[in-house]
Amino acid sequence: MSNFLKIGELAKQTGLSIRTLHYYDEIGLLVPSHRTETDHRLYRTHLRSLRSGCKALEH
């Protein structure tokens, strides 16, 4: 699944915490592109470009 990032990878690349990404999922703001059989969140690799948009939401 090279087209996907695990939540920890997305957190590192965007500068957001995993908890923030979980919260965004909870409120429907940033829903994972896919979930594994063990319910791990996976995000499309193009979401790396969301850094500026996500950081703006924190302020």
Domains of the chain by range and CATH?
A: 4-58 (1.10.1660.10)
Mean pLDDT of 7-13: 91
- Above 80 in pLDDT, residue 8? yes
The conformational region for residue 39 under phi > 0 = left, psi -120 to 50 = alpha, else beta, is left
Q: Which amino acid is at 10?
A: L
Token pair, residue 13, equals 């690349």
17-34 pLDDT tens trace: 999 999 999 999 888 989
What pTM does this model have? 0.73
Could you tell me which of 14, 58, 26, 23 has the C-alpha nearest to residue 6?
14
Average pLDDT of the residues in 36-49? 82
